[in-house]
Amino acid sequence: MDTTDATAEASETTADTGIQSFIVTFNVRRFDPESDTEPRWVDYDVELYPTDRVLDALHKIKWEVDGSLAFRRSCAHGICGSDAMRINGRNRLACKTLIKDLDISQPIYVEAIKGLPLEKDLIVDMEPFFASYRDVQPFLISKTKAEPGKERVQSIVDREVFDDTTKCILCAACTSSCPVFWTDGQYFGPAAIVNAHRFIFDSRDDAADVRLDILNDKEGVWRCRTTFNCSEACPRGIEVTKAIAEVKQAVLRGGR
């Protein structure tokens, strides 16, 4: 396709809203395991409004241009985390990335997140990611039973200690932005450590020492190089690097 004129070309202004739509060029990194030996870039011209999202563009491509395009999405509201992908070289959620926040004078590049096995187009195999998540035992472990009909009471102060890491939606944006994870398939990765943090510092949990022992490993917290890629990539604004540092400190102290 000729993208030179199409990228900057404006279509008619709608009479109803007065908002101008534009033709935006998307370069999508495609891969079909049944026919491709290597991924390839394919460009598409899509008419969009500034308030449209990258997810809207992908829907238009799939529904109106090329039905073979494969990508994950579910809630489309930044809650499920299923549509994490690289947009112009940065890990983002397609449903939260607005066209008005991108430079549409240039093609927008969209590809699958890195570090996980590529299955098709923008879809990766998430099993290695979830395997690390399961390994840190991301659930409450208590040696005492709660009183029948009552909740496990916790103070506001105790909750604040780990409140930030409860926001994780398991999108893998942080883990797949980590250069250590790209080169070391055994590293737990930021998301697993964040979810361990959530229970390590929960005053109602009695298994902090177990999780700290799991992460006090050559593929655990000590593989983190503090590049802050993970914190920048998190669509929920979690201070991932800070959480990892707090887990490191807890390991050195021998407990929370």
Decide: 44 and 25 in contact? Cβ < 8 Å: yes
Calculated CA dihedral for residues 3, 8, 14, 17, nearest 10 degrees: 120
pLDDT at 255: 76
Quick check: 123 pLDDT over 90?
yes
Which fold does the domain 3-124 belong to in CATH? Ubiquitin-like (UB roll) (3.10.20)
CA nearest to 187, candidates 197, 177, 201 = 177
The pTM score is 0.88
CATH of domain 127-253: 1.10.1060.10
d(CA 44, CA 107): 9
Domain-by-domain residue ranges, the chain?
A: 3-124, 127-253
36 Cβ partners below 8 Å, 6+ apart?
Answer: 30
pLDDT score, position 242: 97
> Which pLDDT belongs to residue 10?
43
**Which tokens hold the place of 138?**
């991301």
Question: What integer best gives the mean pLDDT of the chain?
Answer: 92
Confidence (pLDDT) at 16: 53
* pLDDT beyond 70 at 126: yes
Query: Quick check: 11 pLDDT over 70?
Result: no
* Average pLDDT over every residue of 195-220: 95
**pLDDT digits 0-9 by tens, 144-194:** 887 888 888 899 999 999 999 999 999 999 999 999 999 987 899 999 999
207 contacts: CB under 8 Å, gap ≥ 6: 137, 141, 199
pLDDT above 90: residue 19:
no
22 forms bridges with which residues in the sheet?
A: 10, 48
- Rg (C-alpha) for the chain, rounded Å, is 21
For 99, which DSSP code?
A: G
Mean of pLDDT values over 30-54: 97
